[in-house]
């Protein structure tokens, strides 16, 4: 887990040695990632998350509790002081490249040509460039140019 994530008891890892599997165990269901996506888009309250996603209240309660427990969201008093709001932690913000990559994959593969969809833009209104992993020398990386090495 990241330095800022809260350590919680082992939730029964699917594959304890694999970072991909552990990440999916924490945020791999669609509701958790949609809550993180909406938090990145400025949602803060239970009501906002529910309105934006259409998620059932009991499921949203469970996902918010899980995201807080694993250190991806934190609760803090809302400006009004009457309620709590949810904010991304450093670990939650670190999911931005993951959400960006999923978004861009969806733009390429989940829509028919010409079908209307949202586009992520920067603060100037310019579409965010395609995210592409590169090696230290700038060479594009893919599954054919990388491999997994166990640490220990």
pLDDT at res. 9 = 53
Residue 70 predicted with pLDDT over 90: yes
Phi, psi of 55 (to 5 degrees): -70, 145
Answer whether residue 56 is part of any domain. yes
pLDDT at res. 4 = 47
What is the percent of the chain with per-residue pLDDT over 90, rounded to a whole number? 81
DSSP state of 114: T
Q: How far apart are CA 76 and CA 83, in angstroms?
A: 9
Answer whether residue 135 is part of any domain. no
Find out whether 34 and 48 touch, Cβ atoms under 8 Å. no
Answer whether residue 50 is part of any domain. yes
Q: pLDDT (tens digit, 9 = 90+) per residue, 88-139?
A: 999 999 999 999 999 999 999 999 999 999 999 999 999 999 999 999 999 9
Record the pTM: 0.85
Query: Which residues, listed in sequence order, are joined to residue 140 by a DSSP beta bridge?
Result: 134
**Number of separate domains in the chain:** 1
Find out whether 91 and 4 touch, Cβ atoms under 8 Å. yes
């Amino acid at each position: 887990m990241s330095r800022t994530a809260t350590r919680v008891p082992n939730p029964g890892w699917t594959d304890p040695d694999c970072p991909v599997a552990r990440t999916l165990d924490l945020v791999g269901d669609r509701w958790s990632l949609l809550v993180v996506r909406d938090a990145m888009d400025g949602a803060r309250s239970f009501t906002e998350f529910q309105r934006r996603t259409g998620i059932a209240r009991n499921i949203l309660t469970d996902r918010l509790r899980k995201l807080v427990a694993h250190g991806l969201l934190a609760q803090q008093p809302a400006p009004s002081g009457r309620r709590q709001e949810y904010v991304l932690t450093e670990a939650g913000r670190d999911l931005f490249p993951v959400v960006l990559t999923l978004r861009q994959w969806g733009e390429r593969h989940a829509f028919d040509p010409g079908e209307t969809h949202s586009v992520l833009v920067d603060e100037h209104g310019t579409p965010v460039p395609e995210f592409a992993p590169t090696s230290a020398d700038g060479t594009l990386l893919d599954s054919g140019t990388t491999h997994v090495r166990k640490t220990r």
